[in-house]
């Protein structure tokens, strides 16, 4: 019996991120022994599909939520996001590659007024028409960035050589986007 494989593609058009079914999350090492996880509750973005696929989005940094109000306030401060001066983080893709359901998005992330390259990798969950008649696509992406590369240098040395906050931030983005008419 032959095994049939398909390569999901994103149909041409403008796709809007559905904030009710999308998660923009992160985790960072705390004290060298555990991870603190959080997410952003307010964001927007689009995918433009045609001969090429392009993605762009922004996150309202004041919407950070780790489940601990005091920590969230500290993340909004000058030690981390500096939300008073830089209330948004933006991402604009340079290229999107989709092959055999695997996705690679390379682009530029701007955070705290600093722009660096970011590569996100993951999978395309597929393209469907949902119960409401909306055409929907669902990529799941992960990546990582260096806090120091964006000017976030706050830290404290702890015993045993550990630091209070790790430099590497892991990103986990689960998108649901709908084709706009």
Mean pLDDT of the chain: 93
Predicted model pTM: 0.90
Q: Token pair 């952003």 is at which residue?
A: 40
Whether the CB-CB separation of 178 and 134 falls below 8 Å is answered with: yes
Q: Which domain holds residue 91?
A: 13-179
For residue 5, being part of any structural domain is answered with no
* pLDDT > 80? residue 3: no
Structure tokens of 123? Answer: 């999978």
Q: Is residue 2 part of a domain?
A: no
Output the DSSP codes for 87-113. -EEEEEEEEEEEETTEEEEEEEEEETT
Q: How many domains does the chain have?
A: 1
Other CB atoms within 10 A of residue 175 CB: 23
Q: What is the mean pLDDT of residues 71-88?
A: 97
Q: Are strands 114-129 and 34-40 parallel, antiparallel or unpaired?
A: unpaired
Determine the average pLDDT of the residues in 96-105: 92
Mean pLDDT of 5-23: 84
Whichever domain contains 125, its CATH number is 2.40.128.110
Q: Domain for residue 3, yes or no?
A: no
Structural domain includes residue 129:
yes
């Amino acid at each position: 019996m032959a095994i049939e494989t398909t390569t999901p593609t994103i149909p041409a058009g403008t796709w809007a991120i559905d904030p009710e079914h999308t998660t923009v999350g992160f985790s960072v090492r705390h004290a060298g022994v555990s991870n603190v996880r959080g997410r952003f509750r307010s964001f927007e973005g689009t995918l433009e599909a045609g001969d090429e696929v392009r993605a762009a989005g922004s996150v309202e940094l004041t919407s950070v939520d780790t489940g601990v109000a005091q920590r969230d306030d500290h993340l909004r401060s000058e030690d981390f996001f500096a939300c008073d001066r830089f209330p948004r983080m933006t991402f604009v893709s340079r290229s999107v590659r989709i092959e055999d359901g695997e996705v690679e998005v390379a682009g530029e992330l701007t955070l705290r007024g600093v722009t660096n390259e970011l590569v996100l990798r993951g999978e395309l969950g597929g393209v469907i028409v949902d119960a409401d008649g909306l055409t929907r696509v669902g990529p799941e992406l992960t990546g990582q960035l260096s806090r120091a590369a964006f000017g976030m240098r706050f830290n404290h040395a702890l015993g045993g050589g550990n630091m209070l906050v790790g430099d590497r931030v892991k990103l986990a983005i689960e998108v649901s986007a709908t084709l706009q008419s």
